[in-house]
Structure 1
Amino acid sequence: MQTFPLTLVVITYNEAHNIARCLDSVPFAAEKLVIDSGSTDDTIAIAQAHGARVVHQDWLGFGAQRNFATTQCSNEWILALDADEYLSPELAAELLERLPALMASANCAVILRRATVYMGAPMRWYLPSMGEKMARLFHRDRARWADVRVHESLRFDGPSVTLKARFNHENNPSLPQKQLKVLRYAELKCRDWLEKGKPARMWQTPFVFLLAFIKDYFFRLAFLDGWRGFVIAQTAASYAAYKRMRYYEMRRNPASLEIAADALIRHGIDR
């Protein structure tokens, strides 16, 4: 297959069950790069067997880890995927057709649409899972990841284009994995809030839970996906509330920071 001066970059930590599918979905990338933060499973060996160059980097936080990854890429144009994401055949075909013009353009980034597979099947109605727009293909000199611990996004000030086809996201293959991710993401987000000195407003928590559930279940059409939609809405609302409870604890009992960090590492939830 024709290849392009494009680097596929993936940040990993114990992604042996996902990484091959992700790497193989982009056969036209001249370089495949994995930035690993200390996997203890077969992630590295599998990535190398599927054509990737692996670089170790201790965990810096999502934004900083992605910005480090950018510095390790050999090409100016970069496609960033998570290990549990992969291109659909339709998006791969669209990229093959449009990459030459895109890479010759003055565009900063290309917006891709992400579809979610949840509990073993694609979501059919829930709006964020049907075509969430995400900047994932970009020119290294025209865009940069927000330097935050979690929920990072690509920042750029210039033109972009949006493609039609979607890439896929195998979203948390089981509820226990989702809950572990919630614990980790909440801890990272709360540490960002702590550094910024955000006030702890516990009184907002029940309202945040209710509004988050209503937003996802009704306005984002999760209810049309049956019980899977209910689970998604409830999980999102619980995450929104838990972040505020955990942040309140950090402010009230600073010793919990170190205690929680040790527990998360001990149980394999954090690096």
Structure 2
Amino acid sequence: MPTLALTLVVMTHNEAANIARCLDSVPFAAEKLVIDCGSTDATCEIARAHGARVVHQDWLGFGPQRNFATTQSSNDWILALDADEYLSPELTAELQRRLPEVMASDAAVGTLRRRTMYMGAPMRWYRPMVGEKMTRLYHRDRARWRDVRVHESLTWDGTEVRFDAPFEHLHNPTLVHKGLKVLRYAELKARDWRQKQRPPRMWDCPLVFASSFIKDYVFRLAVLDGWRGFVVAQTAASYAVYKRMRYYEMCVNPDSVDMAAELLNRHGLDR
């Protein structure tokens, strides 16, 4: 298959179960680059066996880690995927057809649509998991990831190109995986708030829970996905409240920051 002057970038930590599928789904990338922050499983060996160049980098936070990856790319155009994501055959064909023209233009980024599997089956109605818009294709000189610990996004100067076919996301395999991710993401977000000295606002937690649940369950159509829709809406609302409670704890008990970091590090989650 003809290759394009494009680098596929994947950030990993213990992704042996996913990395091969992710890398193999982008056969047209001239370079496949894995930025690993210290996997203890076979992630790196599998990545190399599937054509990737592996670079170790201790965890910097999501935004800084992605910006580091940009500096390691051999090409100006970069496609960023997570290890549990992969291109559908339809998107592979669309990218092969349209990318040469996009890469020759002054475009800065390309926005893709992400389709998600949840609890072992695809979500059919819940908007964020059916056709969530994700800006994952970018020119290294025209776009940059925000330097935040979590929930990173691209900022750019120039035009945006949108693609129609979806890429696939194998969401957390179980609610246990989701719960651990919630703990990790909430901790990172609370640390960001602490660094910015944001005032804690515990008084708005009931309103935050109610508004978040209603937004996802009703307006984002989770209700139409049955009990799985209820679970995803409840989980999102609980996360919105938990990160505020955790930040409040950091403010009233600063010692909890180091104690939590030690516990999360013990379980490989403080990264």
Normalising by structure 1, report the TM-score. 0.99
Query: Does 2:140 correspond to 1:140?
Result: yes
Deviations 1:111-143 (A, max 9, x none): 101111111111000001111111101100000
Deviations 1:224-263 (A, max 9, x none): 0011101100000000000000000000000000000000
Deviations 1:162-210 (A, max 9, x none): 0000001111011100000000000000000001111101011111111
Q: 1:68-217 alignment to 2 at 5 Å?
A: 68-217=68-217
- Aligned CA RMSD, in angstroms, stands at 0.6
Q: Which amino acid aligns with 2:141?
A: D
Aligned-pair distance for 1:157? Answer: 2.1
Structure 1's unaligned 5+ residue stretches are none
State how far apart, in whole Å, the 2-side matches of 1:174 and 1:99 are.
35
State how far apart, in whole Å, the 2-side matches of 1:267 and 1:206 are.
31
State how far apart, in whole Å, the 1-side matches of 2:65 and 2:27 are.
24
Identity %: 73
Query: Does 2:2 correspond to 1:2?
Result: yes
Structure 2's unaligned 5+ residue stretches are none
State how far apart, in whole Å, the 2-side matches of 1:200 and 1:234 are.
23
Q: Aligned with 2:191: secondary structure? A: helix
State how far apart, in whole Å, the 1-side matches of 2:143 and 2:263 are.
36
Report the counterpart of residue 220 of structure 1 in structure 2: 220
Q: Aligned with 2:9: secondary structure? A: strand
Query: Does 2:226 correspond to 1:239?
Result: no
Count of matched residue positions in the alignment of Structure 1 and Structure 2: 271
> Structure 1 residue runs of 4+, over 6 Å off?
none
Q: Which amino acid aligns with 1:259?
A: M
Aligned-pair distance for 1:56? Answer: 0.1
Q: Which amino acid aligns with 1:193?
A: W
Report the counterpart of residue 30 of structure 1 in structure 2: 30
Normalising by structure 2, report the TM-score. 0.99
